[in-house]
Structure 1
Amino acid sequence: METNVTTRDGVALLKLSGRFDFNAHREFREALERMVALPATTSFTVDLADVSYLDSSALGMLLLLRDKAKQANKLVTLAGVKGSVRQVLDIANFSKMFTIT
């Protein structure tokens, strides 16, 4: 999996691509730490448009992000959700915990 963190208008954007699974844990954690450390951000957006697969460990990593964001008093949005990624998030009831676009 590839990660890219950028900011724009107070939003920290984490763009993911490839397979989001346990093997991506270290990359995701490093990207998460970069996002949390960014000054003057009001929210986090995770762009999943280029994610081809995610598993239960990816769900756990997203929950970790949500917890870190909550501690920093920031909102999290999951963007670009489609196909099998949307199905997994729907089955896990993530729409109750995240804003999904």
Structure 2
Amino acid sequence: MSVTSNRSPDEQQLTIKIKGRFDFSTHQDFRGAYEKETKAKRYVVDLKETNYLDSSALGMLLLLRDHAGGERADVRLENCSADVVKILAISNFSKLFTIGK
């Protein structure tokens, strides 16, 4: 498991990549990837290499959304596997986030 983040050259977007399991064990690393961010207007969570997602991960995504501005937030979940899309759909996250396969 690893969480990495990087800003776009114009500092308008923060991309957070999660490799492996996205569960409570990633909480501190995931939060650390964005909590000091003040310039980003867009957030992308790249789940291309995520092979597991649980309810604590869903909670962490909601915390990121709150940090990014709540209802006004531009948070995208990208490169989601079919299994991850299914979990997000069951949780109605498609109403809160832009989800890409």
Identical counterparts, % of pairs? 45
Q: Which runs of 5+ in 2 are unaligned?
A: none
TM-score by length of 2: 0.87
Please say if 1:62 is aligned against 2:61. yes
Give aligned pairs, total: 97
Matched residues in 2 for 1:53 and 1:76: separation?
20
Match of 1:31 in 2: 33
1:74, distance to aligned residue in structure 2 (A): 4.0
Residues 41 and 68 of structure 2 are in contact (CA less than 8 Å); yes or no, is this contact kept in structure 1?
A: no
1:1-101 mapped onto 2 (5 Å cutoff): 1-8=1-8, 9=10, 10-34=12-36, 36-37=37-38, 39=39, 41-70=40-69, 74-101=73-100
Matched residues in 2 for 1:32 and 1:91: separation?
26
TM-score by length of 1: 0.87
- Alpha carbon RMSD of aligned pairs, Å? 1.5
Residues 47 and 79 of structure 2 are in contact (CA less than 8 Å); yes or no, is this contact kept in structure 1?
A: yes
Which one has the bigger strand percentage? 1
